[in-house]
Structure 1
C-alpha cells in the first residue's frame, strides 16, 4: 500500500504524540514525529513533509514558532492541534495561515479525516495555506470570512471523510461524493455538508445525541 503522504507530527506530550503517530500511520500516512520545536524544524528540513500537525503550547519553541519557520523557509502547510480556543490563539492561527485548527479533546478518528481533507485541499490548490482555517472540535465553529470559504472547507472535509472511511484515493472519494449529489438531487456543497454533519453526530457520546 502506497503512502497517502508524508506528515510531520509535533507534540510535547509523549502519549498524545504516540497516539497520533500510530493512528496516522495506520491510516496510511508516512509519519515523522518530534516532541519539541527544535527537533521539528530539523526533521522538516531533512524530510520535507507535505503537511505538519503542530501542538501550540510546548516548552521552548511553540507550535507558532515552528509554523512561522515552516511557512517562511520551507513553504510547508501546517495545521494546529490545541486545547486552547481563546480569541488571541485563534487570531494567531489565522495570521499564520494554518490549513485547519483542531481543538482538543479529539480522538484519532476525527483527526484522520481532517488531515486527509488538508491533503485533498493541498492537491487541488497550489497555495495550500489559507487565511481562514476551519476549526474542528468541541464547541468549535468554522472561522471563515465568507460563505464560499465555508462551503469549500466542508467539501474538502467530506472528501477526507470518504477517503478515510472507504480507503479511497482523492479522485475516487470526489467521484463518490458527486454520485451522492446526483442520487439525492442536491448540490455538491449541500451533500458535503450533510455528510460532515452526519459524521460529527456519530462521533458524539451517546448521552449527547
Structure 2
C-alpha cells in the first residue's frame, strides 16, 4: 500500500491508540504513535510527521500542551480526538487552530475522511515563507519529559516510571533533574537535534 503521509497519533488509552494506528495504517498512512504528550514531542521532533492526531486529556503534558509545541516550534498541523466537548475545551481547540475536532467514541471510518481532508487542505495551502525555528525542549520541564520517556520505553505507570527514574539517578550519582537532562540530551543527539 502506498504511503499517503506520516501521522503522529497520541492517546493514553492503549486500546484507542492501537485501533487508530491499525486503521490509519490500513488506509495507507505511515504511523508514529505515543501514549503520552512528553514522548509525542520527542517523536515529532525526530520524525517530523505531516499531521498529528491528539487526545486532549492525558497524564503529564496534555494534548493542548503538545499542540502548542507542534504549532509554535515545528509547524505541524494537528487534529484533536476527545470525549470532551464542553465550551472551554471547544474554545481552546479553536484558539489553537486545530484542523478538526472529533468527539469520541469514533470509529476509523469517521477518522479517515477527516484525515484525508486535512491532507488535501494542507496540499492546497501555500508553504510558509520562513522555515520553522529549530525547536528546543528547554521550555519544558526535563523531569516531566524524561518521565514520559521512561513510561513509554518500559511500559510503566507514571508512579513506577518515577521510581525507576529516581533509582537510575541515584545509581548515576545525579539528581533526578540532572539525570533527566542527561537522558534528553542523549536522545536529542541521537535524533540529530
Q: Aligning the two structures, in what range does the TM-score lie when normalised by the shorter sequence?
A: 0.5 to 0.7
Alignment map for 1:41-120 (pairs within 5 Å): 41-120=41-120
Alignment map for 1:148-163 (pairs within 5 Å): none
- The TM-score normalised by the length of structure 2 is 0.65
CA RMSD in angstroms, aligned pairs only: 1.2
Alpha-carbon separation, structure 1, partners of 2:3 and 2:117:
15
Alpha-carbon separation, structure 2, partners of 1:41 and 1:72:
12
Verify: 1:23 aligned to 2:23, yes or no.
yes
Alignment map for 1:127-138 (pairs within 5 Å): none
Q: Which portions of structure 1, spanning 4 or more consecutive aligned residues, are displaced by more than 3 angstroms?
A: none
- The TM-score normalised by the length of structure 1 is 0.60
Q: Report the alpha carbon displacement of residue 4 of structure 1 after superposing the two structures with TM.
A: 0.4
SS where residue 8 of structure 1 aligns? strand
Q: Report the alpha carbon displacement of residue 40 of structure 1 after superposing the two structures with TM.
A: 0.2
Alpha-carbon separation, structure 1, partners of 2:63 and 2:106:
18
**Structure 2, gaps ≥5 residues long:** 129-193
Specify the alignment match of 1:40 in structure 2. Answer: 40
SS where residue 9 of structure 2 aligns? strand
Q: Report the alpha carbon displacement of residue 95 of structure 1 after superposing the two structures with TM.
A: 0.4
Deviations 1:35-92 (CA, angstroms, capped at 9, x unpaired): 0001000000000000000000000000000000000000000000000110000000
Alpha-carbon separation, structure 1, partners of 2:79 and 2:126:
16
Distance change (3 Å), C-alpha of 1:54 and 1:127: farther
Alpha-carbon separation, structure 2, partners of 1:45 and 1:89:
26
SS where residue 9 of structure 1 aligns? strand
SS where residue 81 of structure 2 aligns? strand
Specify the alignment match of 2:176 in structure 1. Answer: none
**Structure 1, gaps ≥5 residues long:** 129-209
Alpha-carbon separation, structure 2, partners of 1:127 and 1:114:
21
Alpha-carbon separation, structure 1, partners of 2:78 and 2:109:
19
SS where residue 91 of structure 2 aligns? helix
Q: Report the alpha carbon displacement of residue 2 of structure 1 after superposing the two structures with TM.
A: 2.1
Alignment map for 1:158-169 (pairs within 5 Å): none
